[in-house]
Structure 1
Amino acid sequence: MKKCILTMAPTLFFILLMQLIATTCNGVSPPKFSAVLIFGDSTVDTGNNNYIDTAFRANHTPYGQDFPDHIATGRFSNGKLVPDFLATKLGIKETAPPFLDPNLPDYELLTGVNFASAGSGYDELTTAATGAIPLSKQPQYLKSYIERLNIIVGEDKARSIINDSLVVISAGPNDFIFNFYDIPTRRLHFDTDAYQDFVQYRLQIFVQELYNLGCRTMIISGLPPIGCLPIQMSAKLKPPYLRTCLHHQNRDAQSYNQKLVNLLPQLQVSLPGTRLIYSDVYEPLNNLITNPQKYGFVETSIGCCGTGTVEAGGFCSPNTPVCANHSQYVFWDTIHPSETTYRYVAEYLENEILAQLSDIGSH
């Protein structure tokens, strides 16, 4: 095994350099991407909903308490999200800014932006209830982004940036929560199996649209253990001492994920030049929920904000008290994980996914 030994002052540059060398010494070179482009829902929205007419916003405290400078950016957590950690790990940028920010400078566009919208989903019916930007509309914003890139760097360079970007897609839970479980509108027309197929049909259309616009490497997230979200346990109106995960919803999520695992290789073959990578968010989150002490967590069934049973978005407000030990809670509000959880999920995904992409930019 190679040894990497350096001695010099521990500046920030040196620390980052050591991280890079350590990665290389382990035999895995980090993939090289020109930019990161994010699509999806509140799990990855870094603030786009601040600029649209929707009640689904997080641009107020106590959101952002542990973000740099304690800013409530619009992220539905107390700090950073998975795309932020991933962009940093890849050496692209520290955070992925929202594309709808009217003050977004040109230099930010060169390394990627975020198109996600909290409350979004693949099913058009999902955003009819939330007022969010549906997944189907997010490629239109990508078109606008490309037009701005064309002006800044020219069409050839813009095309290269898009082709060489890492695309992250995280959506799906809202479709099932809003349309199937809590408000069973779609259950009038679909059983579980058929609705899963419908959502993944919409997913295929979405990926095809991104492909047509030049995107080639895409990480596509499956579903988390939906039945373990505090809001889902609260929907069953059980007292605190009887709060347990809803196992049928978790089984549905696992079934959906297996279908997605089977679908992506077929979809990749139909889209020449693509790399479509499945992102397993179920397993890392389930690890924390079933073995919390192993990872330093104490509370898994309620959120840190307020009572932890119903508060999210506007109900997790500046007047809402929060738990004292943020890092010991798996969830920040009743739907969204805490920054500590997102950090763990990001590290899990880095280990699982980045090795599969290590050949990118290495030749």
Structure 2
Amino acid sequence: MVSKLDLLFGVLITAALMQFQIVFVIGEPQVPCYFIFGDSLVDNGNNNGLVTAAKANYTPYGADFPQGVTGRFTNGLTVADIIGQLLDFPNFIPSYATATNSEINSGVNYGSGGAGIRDETGRNLGDRISLNRQLLRHATIVSRLSNLQRNKTFTNEYIQKCIYIVNMGSNDYINNYLMPNNYPTSTIYTPYQYARVLIQQYSQQLKSLYKLGARKIAVFGLGFIGCTPAEIATFGTNGEPCVESINSATMLFNDRLSPLINDLNNAFFDARFTFINISSISAPQEGVVLPNVPCCQTRSDGQCVPNSVPCSDRTMYTWYDGFHPTEIANRFLASRSYAALSPMDASPYDISHLAQL
């Protein structure tokens, strides 16, 4: 019988090592630009200048990244970086914090560690750029593009051809609902009610993204948060491999997210929304599962201890710190998001097909 421990991203040693053998043949990008919304799973430096504990601009983060420490919450590339490579972008998409006028034609990364669907999410960590604030930033980028291209009609047509990914919701549990001493949400809402409230707000935010010109939008579901080393250390598992109550609560969100994507596609005939089902991609497979322990020494909030020495072979670990995957795990997740191996991985399209529409 397969335990929930085997659900930890389903990253197998054999499958993961195969990801490093992908050869990226860079030609013209499959879409003109690529915009990234989300939290620390995609943050590439937007939090570096913020007053917050949620930043990764120190070693041992970036141990395997070509430019070293950048603010990415992993040892190397994020899921968003790898999807960009698979879409044939020759360079990493710049962070909003650093993007120049010459760079924004290829897209912008708005991701922010600690950010959530709800504005208050992550305030226990300090400043962060919520999804609502990321959408406001995107509006300024669209305006900058229009001014640079000097043709509003051209800009509108241009951004409709781009890929947009949105990876939000984890912090609305980790740094909100699961912190009753910091937030009242768990006393106000049952898990069912909270999932419903989150989806209602998320629906309005995704509609706002549509109004800003997005037409090819990949929305990522939540992974098994109850299987992260940090949540296991905090809550315990009562003899189970993972914190089952947390996984049950977050799956209620996923159960509502997939129908929301269908509703959005029905409401906006000229748009293509798709659901990236991380829980399916993380499903158990045959092989040897990578260990469920962090690669780096972690502090109380689950992040790496500054200047600590990480594990020597990062290809043999799923988790870099208490919450964030290693690059090898990110490669597995990104490859399945881009080219689904099962109809359950992405619905109605994987990202490679979304790009072609």
Please give the per-residue CA displacement for 1:29-88, whole angstroms capped at 9, x wherever unaligned.
x9932111000100111111113232211011100001114x111010001011111111
Question: For 1:40-79, what aligned pairs fall within 5 Å after superposition?
Answer: 40-69=38-67, 71-79=68-76
Q: Distance in 1 between matches of 2:106 and 2:245?
A: 41
Q: Is the 8 A contact 1:127 1:133 kept in 2?
A: no
Aligned to 1:267: 264
Q: Distance in 2 between matches of 1:208 and 1:99?
A: 21
Aligned to 1:317: 306
Q: Is the 8 A contact 1:93 1:111 kept in 2?
A: no
Matched, 1:123 2:118: yes
Aligned to 2:138: 142
Pair 1:361–1:222, CA change in 2 (3 A): closer
Question: For 1:1-363, what aligned pairs fall within 5 Å after superposition?
Answer: 16=24, 32-69=30-67, 71-101=68-98, 104-130=99-125, 131-154=127-150, 155-183=152-180, 185-236=184-235, 244-287=241-284, 293=288, 297=290, 299-300=291-292, 302-306=293-297, 308=298, 310=300, 312-313=302-303, 315-318=304-307, 320-352=308-340, 353=346, 355=350, 358=353, 361=356
Provide the TM-score with structure 2 as the length reference.
Answer: 0.83
Q: Distance in 2 between matches of 1:359 and 1:35?
A: 13
Q: Distance in 1 between matches of 2:219 and 2:354?
A: 19
Q: Is the 8 A contact 2:339 2:351 kept in 1?
A: no
Aligned to 1:5: none
Provide the TM-score with structure 1 as the length reference.
Answer: 0.82
Mark the runs of 5 or more structure 2 residues left unpaired by the alignment: 1-22, 341-345
Please give the per-residue CA displacement for 1:78-127, whole angstroms capped at 9, x wherever unaligned.
010111111111113432210111xx333321111101111000012203
Q: Distance in 1 between matches of 2:41 and 2:286?
A: 22
Question: After TM superposition, where is structure 1 displaced by more than 6 Å over at least 4 residues in a row?
Answer: none
Aligned to 2:7: none
Q: Distance in 2 between matches of 1:80 and 1:232?
A: 23
Pair 1:283–1:359, CA change in 2 (3 A): closer
Please give the per-residue CA displacement for 1:263-287, whole angstroms capped at 9, x wherever unaligned.
2111222223111100111233354
> What is the aligned-residue RMSD (CA, Å)?
2.5
Pair 1:233–1:312, CA change in 2 (3 A): closer
User: How many pairs were matched up?
Assistant: 324
- Which structure would you say has the larger RCO, counting Cα contacts within 8 Å and 6 or more residues apart? 2
Higher fraction of helix: 1
Q: Distance in 2 between matches of 1:94 and 1:282?
A: 29
Percent identity between matched residues is 25
With 269-278 and 149-158 compared, the bigger mean Cα shift is at 149-158
Q: Distance in 1 between matches of 2:240 and 2:63?
A: 27
Q: Distance in 2 between matches of 1:324 and 1:212?
A: 47
Q: Distance in 1 between matches of 2:286 and 2:245?
A: 20
Mark the runs of 5 or more structure 1 residues left unpaired by the alignment: 1-14, 21-29
Q: Distance in 2 between matches of 1:236 and 1:113?
A: 36
Q: Distance in 2 between matches of 1:338 and 1:191?
A: 33
